[in-house]
């Protein structure tokens, strides 16, 4: 091979090397580009998912479950020693557990301490709750009295202060704010009774309007549930049974779902004075 052929061969070799190097760089560039694109898409998807989760969380309705009584205020005491304040807190926690995947659930009372009525509804108003449910048990002079009662608010009759009955809403701050929510509160009460009534058959209970102090200051649909009579031995036993309380918590949760998912078209007019 002559000198020219050698140079030509060497040039061809260098051109081959250059081509291979360029091809390698193209492959590397393409691979890196695809990786960066994949990372960008992943980041975008994660951001979108986080935004969706945040939006869903923000869109969740807020439900306040108020465990009645607490601390030195024990409420009704059953013949076997069951205390109302203990039943209401256990039930509130069970309802919270049943609702927390669909709603933002908040309990004003989470332990054994006393809260005044205005503090309970004030708490619900402060967090702009969509529902307020206060849990209680009932008591009677007759051990045979039983059933479940669900109450919504009504304005008390005009009375002189000396004639006012205990528990009525007379001095509660902003007590007029519940007035425009009364139709929705009545609907909520009926939805929950419909779900819970089978648990207390053949005495399914009632829905009633009462001037309950704990409901007066709630600026959202609000009800009070008396879950049974601790002075009735059978109902006291039920209210001490976690299985029964779980069923009751489920029924109340279903009633809340019914209220939100199939709402009556209630015209809420501002009737505050």
Name the average pLDDT for the chain: 81
* Prediction pTM value: 0.73
User: Which residues on adjacent β-strands are paired with residue 226?
Assistant: 136, 149
Last residue of a domain, one of 39, 59, 79: 59
Better pLDDT: 38 or 269:
38
Residue 186 lies in a domain: yes
Last residue of a domain, one of 11, 35, 59: 59
Same domain, 74 and 52: no
Same domain, 115 and 43: no
Q: Is the peptide bond before 62 cis (omega within 30 degrees of 0)?
A: no
The C-alpha atoms of residue 248 and residue 127 are separated, in whole angstroms, by 26
Residue 273 lies in a domain: no
Same domain, 169 and 233: yes
Same domain, 159 and 256: yes
Q: Is the pLDDT of residue 171 over 60?
A: no
Residue 62's nearest CA partner among 150, 133, 113, 152 is: 133
**pLDDT (tens digit, 9 = 90+) per residue, 148-169?**
999 999 988 765 454 444 444 4
Same domain, 50 and 109: no
Last residue of a domain, one of 37, 59, 81: 59
The tally of domains found in the chain comes to: 2
> Binning pLDDT at 50, 70 and 90, where does residue 189 land?
very high
> Binning pLDDT at 50, 70 and 90, where does residue 48 land?
low
The parent domain of residue 93 ranges over 61-261
Same domain, 51 and 127: no
Same domain, 13 and 119: no
């Amino acid at each position: 091979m002559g000198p020219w052929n050698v140079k030509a061969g060497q040039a061809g070799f260098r051109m081959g090397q250059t081509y291979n190097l360029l091809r390698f760089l193209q492959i590397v560039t393409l691979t890196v580009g695809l990786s960066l694109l994949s990372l960008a898409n992943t980041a975008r998807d994660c951001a979108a998912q986080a935004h969706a989760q945040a939006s869903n969380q923000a869109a969740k309705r807020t439900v306040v479950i108020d465990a009645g009584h607490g601390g030195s205020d024990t409420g009704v005491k059953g013949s076997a020693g069951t205390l109302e304040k203990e039943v209401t807190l256990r039930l509130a926690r069970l309802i919270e557990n049943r609702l927390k995947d669909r709603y933002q659930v908040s309990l004003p009372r989470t332990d054994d301490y006393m809260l005044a009525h205005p503090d309970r509804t004030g708490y619900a108003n402060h967090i702009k709750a969509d529902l307020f449910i206060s849990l209680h048990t009932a008591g009677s002079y007759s051990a045979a009295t039983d059933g479940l009662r669900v109450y919504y608010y009504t304005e008390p009759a005009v009375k002189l202060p000396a004639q006012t009955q205990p528990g009525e809403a007379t001095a509660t701050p902003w007590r007029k704010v519940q007035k425009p929510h009364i139709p929705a509160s009545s609907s909520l009460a009926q939805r929950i009774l419909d779900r819970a009534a089978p648990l207390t058959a053949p005495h399914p209970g009632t829905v009633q309007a009462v001037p309950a102090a704990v409901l007066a200051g709630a600026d959202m649909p609000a009800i009070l549930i008396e879950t049974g009579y601790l002075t009735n031995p059978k109902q006291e036993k039920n209210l001490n049974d976690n299985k029964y309380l779980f069923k009751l918590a489920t029924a109340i949760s279903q009633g809340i779902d019914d209220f939100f998912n199939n709402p009556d078209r209630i015209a809420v007019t501002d009737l505050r004075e």
